[in-house]
């Protein structure tokens, strides 16, 4: 039995399509590993391009994965014709982002007509062993999409 009941029967398709339109995900090599109603797992390989001064992946890049995971998880529960934007998020960095791959796993905590709250966790995989490296709590907002635009002028935020 699914935990959430999506309002949009095409929720998997529109969520995947929104993910695919994020050029930043392509640039970072992030892909969808699992997608369900209110839940998503993303996967990212290590790449030296995204490191900070100690050779770990930069907290902002980890945050990009967590934020998109939250956004896609929230988007699966929004009505057809919605646009989505991130209102805010908070990230706690628990351990160095050191690994061969990284997983970003988000779950909807509270879906809402306007606002949806999600939680996400980032894991680093080293030799098949995963460890928790960061957490996020974020608020996402649904906006009715205007038909005649590709860049909605009223979108209040970046996600």
In angstroms, the CA 101 to CA 62 distance is: 11
Token reading at 48:
């030296």
Question: Whole-number minimum distance, CB 92 to a second copy, in Å?
Answer: 4
Yes or no: say if 77 and 38 are a contact pair by the CB < 8 Å rule. yes
Minimum CB separation of residue 140 from a second copy in Å reads: 10
Among the listed residues 5, 135, 18, 34, the one whose alpha carbon sits nearest the alpha carbon of residue 81: 18
Q: Is 95 in the site for a second copy (CB under 8 A)?
A: yes
Cα dihedral value 33, 60, 57, 47, nearest 10: 60
Binders of a second copy in range 2-61 (CB under 8 A): 18-19, 21-24, 27, 48-61
CB of 64 to a second copy, least distance (A): 2
Residue 127 near a second copy by CB under 8 A = no
**Any residues with CB less than 8 A from the CB of 52 and at least 6 apart, and which?**
58, 59
- Of 37 and 136, which CB lies nearer to a second copy in the complex structure? 136
CB 82, min distance to a second copy, A: 12
Tell me if 117 contacts a second copy by CB under 8 A.
Answer: yes
CB atoms near residue 89 (< 10 Å):
18
- Which residue ranges make up the site for a second copy (CB under 8 A)? 18-19, 21-24, 27, 48-68, 83, 85-98, 109-110, 112, 114-115, 117, 119, 132-135, 137, 139, 141, 150-152, 155-159
């Amino acid at each position: 039995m699914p935990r959430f009941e999506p309002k949009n029967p095409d929720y998997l398709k529109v969520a995947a399509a929104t993910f695919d339109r994020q050029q930043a995900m392509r640039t970072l090599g992030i892909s969808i590993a699992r997608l369900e109603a209110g839940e998503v797992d993303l996967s990212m390989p290590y790449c030296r391009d995204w490191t900070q001064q100690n050779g770990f992946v930069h907290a902002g890049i980890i945050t990009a994965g967590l934020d998109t995971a939250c956004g896609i998880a929230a988007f699966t529960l929004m009505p057809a014709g919605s646009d989505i934007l991130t209102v805010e998020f908070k990230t706690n960095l628990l351990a160095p982002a050191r690994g061969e791959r990284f997983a970003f796993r988000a779950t909807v905590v509270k879906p809402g007509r306007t606002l949806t709250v999600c939680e996400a966790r980032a894991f680093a995989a080293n030799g098949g062993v995963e460890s928790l490296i960061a957490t996020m709590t974020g608020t996402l907002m649904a906006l009715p999409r205007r038909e005649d635009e590709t860049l909605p002028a009223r979108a209040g935020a970046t996600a």
